[in-house]
Amino acid sequence: MATALLGVLLWVVISIVVNIANAPDEPLPLPKTSVAEFDQALPRINTHEDMAVFLTEQGYAGAALMRGYWAWMAQRGYPQGSFEGRSPDQQIEDEDDAELILMAGAGDLDAAHMLAERSLHQHRDPLGAIEWYDQAIVNGSIFAMLRVADLITTLSDPALNEFVAEPEWKAALEQLNNELPPPLERALAWTLAAIIVGGYPVSLGPLETGQIELLVEQLDKAGVERACELAQTYVLDTAAQRRVKGGAIFSAQPPPLAFTVANPAARIPCSTPIMPLVSLDNCARYDYIGPRPSLMSAWVCPY
């Protein structure tokens, strides 16, 4: 995998160099910023610390709300370290595969995630990685839904095949791309399924980074609608598997604090609106300008 990723990186760098070499002598115009479109009275919040201070100024226990948000996300599979800019739990990283398999079998989401990443990066088995993430999904990981979407999107890129030499990798990529529905429809469906199950509190990454828009651009209208329908199927199938295992279907409990892009429902590409299981309707909304900069909303919910 490292060889493949290095090849992709080299290709990207070469493309950039060629573009620079062929650029006109006149300087290119700087991209227009959209900051001027925002209400200048809105607060600018760039860090978690800024947000905690802002919430405290509104009369809330800002630090406690942030901890509650992290805990809610962690219960849905998000690695705690991802919120704090650090690597995953060192104890999980130090466990051997045999111990991780036992832990994952008992429902440990971090163990299943680690096995998935080891399958991808160490064992060069992308399909095995998706299988471990599938297990994590059944055990309640919304993070794994989005990770599967990321993997399918990346592994279905035709450019990747040009940099892969290992026969096992080529066979895995061929199988992934030949499965139906088409990979990009599956990727969009898993992204939407995550939002249906976790609500708009888990939509920040796919919407703010433009992941959903990029997938939609690569699909025709019929493909997008098929993905929207497939997302519902993924949710129902996952619920059925959770019921068989004796687990709760899904939690509709909103987090004490959530972050979204402004008006996230308007960014969902389905002609029939999706109905997230986690609602923010009873939460207080505070709009702010985020670090990109972009118009964002923070939601404080009864808990």
Q: What is the pLDDT along the chain (303 residues), one digit of tens a residue?
A: 444 443 433 333 333 333 323 334 444 343 344 444 677 889 999 999 999 999 999 999 999 999 999 999 999 999 875 555 444 555 677 788 888 899 888 888 999 999 999 998 888 888 999 999 999 999 999 999 999 999 999 888 887 777 777 888 888 888 888 888 999 999 999 999 999 999 999 999 898 888 999 999 999 999 999 999 999 999 999 999 998 887 677 999 999 999 999 999 999 999 999 999 999 999 999 999 998 888 999 999 987
Query: For residue 82, what pLDDT is reported?
Result: 53
Pair 206, 191: CB distance under 8 Å: yes
Query: For residue 94, what pLDDT is reported?
Result: 75
Query: For residue 168, what pLDDT is reported?
Result: 80
Determine if residue 81 is left, alpha or beta; phi over 0 gives left, psi from -120 to 50 gives alpha, anything else beta: alpha
Query: For residue 121, what pLDDT is reported?
Result: 86
Q: Which residues contact 175 (CB under 8 A, 6 or more apart)?
A: 127
Query: For residue 123, what pLDDT is reported?
Result: 86
Query: For residue 233, what pLDDT is reported?
Result: 97
Neighbours of 14 (CB within 10 A): 10
Pair 119, 132: CB distance under 8 Å: yes
Query: For residue 187, what pLDDT is reported?
Result: 97
CB-count burial class (<10 Å; 0-12, 13-18, 19+) for 144 = buried
First to last CA, the chain: 43
| Tokens of residue 13, six digits | 């760098």
Pair 184, 219: CB distance under 8 Å: yes
Pair 296, 241: CB distance under 8 Å: no
pLDDT in tens, 103-114: 888 888 999 999
Per-residue three-class SS string for 4-55: HHHHHHHHHHHHHHHHHHCCCCCCCCCCCCCHHHCCCCCCECCCHHHHHHHH
Pair 141, 77: CB distance under 8 Å: yes
Query: For residue 91, what pLDDT is reported?
Result: 67
Residue with tokens 């809330």: 60
Rounded CA separation 303/300 (Å): 9
Distances in Å between the alpha carbon of 208 and those of 30, 168, 203? 21, 35, 8
